[in-house]
Chain A
Amino acid sequence: MSRGQVLTLDMFLALSLTALLLGYSGLAMEMVHARAREEVSRYSLERVASDAAEALVKAGGVPENWEDRPSSLQVLGLSRNSGLDLRKLAVLRDLCRSENWDPSREEVQAVMRLFGGQNFELRILTKNLLVRKDVKGLNYTLQTTIWGMEVYVRLENLGTTVRANVKLKSGGMERNETKQGRTFSMVVSLPPLTVEVVADGKTVGVWYEGVIWDIWPGWNLGGSPGWENSPEVAVARRSLYLTSGEVRNVVENRRHYGRPDPYTLPFLVKPGELGLFDWYVVLSPSSPNKPVTDVWVNRSGGNPDYHFPWDTLLPMWYHGQKGSQNPLTEADNGGNPNNYLTLKVTGSKWEYVDVLVVAVPRCSNPELAYQADLLLPGALEVRVWR
């Protein structure tokens, strides 16, 4: 009996331990599997973001000129000469508008293939130096507007330290931060703008980074892409250079000599481009208010469409709507210019104005038109989620 009891107790203990061991090992296996699944899932999401970013910045897509016939798109790519092709971007942006985003369309499926579905966001950013100052004798104030946002920067040398104050204000929202020290970095952000102040002991640099374009399926409806509540989000960022607009034609050094001769500046709007781009006349005058410049669009008489210095940014075509008395046309003219501006410059012969015809992707910030003739350092950011 005694033997039997002991045996029973031993057996009970052994069985308990075995059960515990088996249970625990099962649990451990489950944990390992769960972690592996998570990791694989996470890694594959990162891989999707990374591969998509690689394809977008390194290739022009298949076919190479898909932007001319978007329905032919098989593989998405946004690159041209190792920079960002603005026309491809404009077409992609148009494709992602809510009214155009139809997953049954071939070109939309090609976009979805690249991003592994519809859960993606593509952001184009640019970062530029606003000002860099020597610490020695630093006493500097900057008040300006960047992309419609009021920016105030105050830099002061307090002897052994530097104090920086940055205020951003836009649409009733405000951010205000101050930092003091010998070496520091301070970031102040109010979407879509981020201002960074870096003091390295010898100089203080102020940089601004802004999101120029933010694209996701249905981006034009506003709101957010929807990744905020997702448990898994992956981001890939690639550096590149870009232009914020396309300069279609330009005339430099228009002046008033003997009499204000009208000048005709022809330019081409290709078929389909009125739906893809906003069109602006950008004036780059020698003085803030001079010379007086009248601009007519597709006509040469009557009341001018724009009068500088009253108008500083001249939208000829904005959000798919005309902005001048005579609208722009995209009618085929055998590849020749199909629109023109008439310019009349009045004032001193020492004053001059450069006039540019600029296209920026539809519904972009109008201020981008001012920078269209510059190559900007920037980045492309791909975000995907589950």
Chain B
Amino acid sequence: MREKGFLFSLDACLAVLVMMIALAGVARLEPWGRPGHGYLKLERSAQDALNALDGMGVTRYVIDCLNNKQVAEAGRAARENLISLLPPGVSFRYTVGAEDNLLLEVYRDNSENWRGRWENAGERALALHLTCEFIRTVENLDVLIWADDEQDRWFASQVIKPGWTYRMTGEENTFVAYLENRVEPDWYPDVVFLPDVSVYWSDNTLSTLVDYLTWKLVVGGREIGGGAVAGGETLWSNRRDPWRRLFGIPIWLSPYGQLLLMFGISPNPFSSDPGIDRVRGPGYGPYGERMELVDLTHYVTTGLPFTEVPYQGDTYYQYVYETSWVLEPWLRTLGRWENYENGGITWPGLLVREALANLGLPWFGITLRFMERTALFNVRMAQSSYDQGFDGLERERWVELVRRSIEWASRQKAELQPIVLYVWREGG
């Protein structure tokens, strides 16, 4: 019994010891672990910093810099402001663009092993913004420009953006040679820009341009054909085929008629009327006519800070078109003139036409489009914009619209890009 009693006491001692250890363990336990508290703080910091960047105009500035290919300046602005905004000890990685195609990548310092530091960080978070402005990702936009006078050349110089490559000519043979890819084998235009063609082109030039616009074929990175952006003078200067009109032969059968169709013009494919006219002067409206942007959902007009575009129509012509009902499903009127009405409908001021067919065989890297995109402004853009009496701000509006149109017609259009801010505390 003694041994039993002794053993029992020993058992009890051991049991009590175990229980005490357990109790001590419980007492030492963190009663309320708060996982995620640090994460929330970091996430708020990141979100605050992105909001503040927006409010201070830094995001806008970064986007402008990227659009002008000033990547280093964009990085400097983002880094310096983020260091100012984020709490001490917080590292960051700020990116603009999709992860597989970054337009900008900035760290707190010049560290290159951010991913390792991000993965080893004790607390980490990220905040995401979608840019409210377009960022133009046009890296290889090739533009062929027809410029036959000083105004055209000046206007083109205003329109061309850093990162674009262009060839400018006012000579027909050279123009045709570029369209046929006979000048530089490695350079072929994505888009043709015709501000105000004042030259009466040969049928051959017209045909070549029509051919260029009719078929767009991409095979394994090689391209044939493309889109176009034109001012009204281009179509007006090349009016022809009086004999067709005289004999009532459908004008669309001629290269000129086909060019009109490419831009969505002509009331009827079986009509002899080219459906184009021009007007100017006080009789057509008050001094300083304005084009009103009526469709702000298209790429060319989305997010613009203006909806009215002034034009000195007293001095320079405006061009009057009748749009083709056949092409109606592919046409969109983005701008209308407010100074003239015809049967209750104001003139189209800016027309864009989508490609009629778009076939793709992605496995073989082949794309085929019929009647590639075009944009038509029914004004003398270059001449008007060159005018000294034209206000700089108004000129800038035309330039912006043309740039957008060129990007859209080339399909190298800008896109909304994500801005992501990764933040973490160093040292785990």
Q: Which residues from chain A sit less than 8 Å from chain B, CB to CB? A: 2-3, 6-7, 9-10, 13-14, 17, 20-21, 24-25, 27-28, 31-32, 35-36, 39-40, 43, 50, 54, 57, 81-83, 126-129, 132, 183, 187, 196, 198, 200-203, 205, 207, 237-241, 375, 377-379
Whether A239 contacts B9 in the complex (CB less than 8 A), given A21-B16, A377-B81, comes out as no
Q: Are A17 and B13 also in contact (CB < 8 A) when A6-B5, A35-B31, A241-B55 are?
A: yes
The 8 Å CB contact of A239, one of B13, B57, B85, is B85
Judge whether B1 and A6 touch: CB under 8 Å: yes
Q: Is B83 positioned at the interface, with any CB of A under 8 Å from its CB?
A: yes
With contacts A31-B27, A239-B86, A241-B52 known, is A17 near B110, CB below 8 A? no
Q: Which residue of A lies closest to B76 (CB)?
A: A132
Known contacts A40-B32, A239-B86; A7 and B5 CB within 8 A of each other: yes
Given contacts A14-B9, A132-B80, A239-B49, contact A83 B55 (CB under 8 A): yes
Chain B window 40-59, contacts with chain A (Cβ cutoff 8 Å), 1 for yes, 0 for no: 01001100110110111100
For B23, the chain A residues whose CB sits under 8 A away are 24-25, 28
Tell whether A238 pairs with B48 under 8 Å between CB atoms, given A6-B1, A375-B55.
Answer: yes
Distance between A32 CB and nearest chain B CB, rounded to angstroms: 6
B27 pairs with A240, CB closer than 8 A: no
Interface size on B, residues (CB 8 A): 41
Is B24 in contact with A28, judged by CB distance below 8 angstroms?
yes
Q: Is the C-beta of B219 less than 8 angstroms from some C-beta in chain A?
A: no
Query: Which of A14, A57, A202, A377 is B12 in contact with, Cβ under 8 Å?
Result: A14
Contacts A13-B9, A21-B20, A201-B110; A240 near B52 (Cβ below 8 A):
yes
List chain A residues, Cβ under 8 A from B288: none
22 A–B contact pairs at CB < 8 A? A7-B5, A9-B5, A13-B9, A13-B12, A24-B23, A28-B27, A32-B27, A50-B41, A54-B44, A82-B54, A82-B55, A127-B84, A129-B84, A187-B88, A201-B109, A237-B45, A239-B49, A239-B86, A239-B87, A240-B55, A377-B85, A378-B84
Interface string of B5-25 (1 = CB under 8 A from A): 100110011001001100110
A-B contact count (CB 8 A): 113
Complex Cα spacing A200 to B57, Å: 27
Residues of chain B having any CB pair with chain A under 8 Å: 1-2, 5, 8-9, 12-13, 16, 19-20, 23-24, 26-27, 29-32, 34, 41, 44-45, 48-49, 51-52, 54-57, 80-81, 83-88, 109-111
Partner of A17, one of B1, B12, B48, B49: B12
Nearest chain B CB to A6 CB, angstrom units:
5
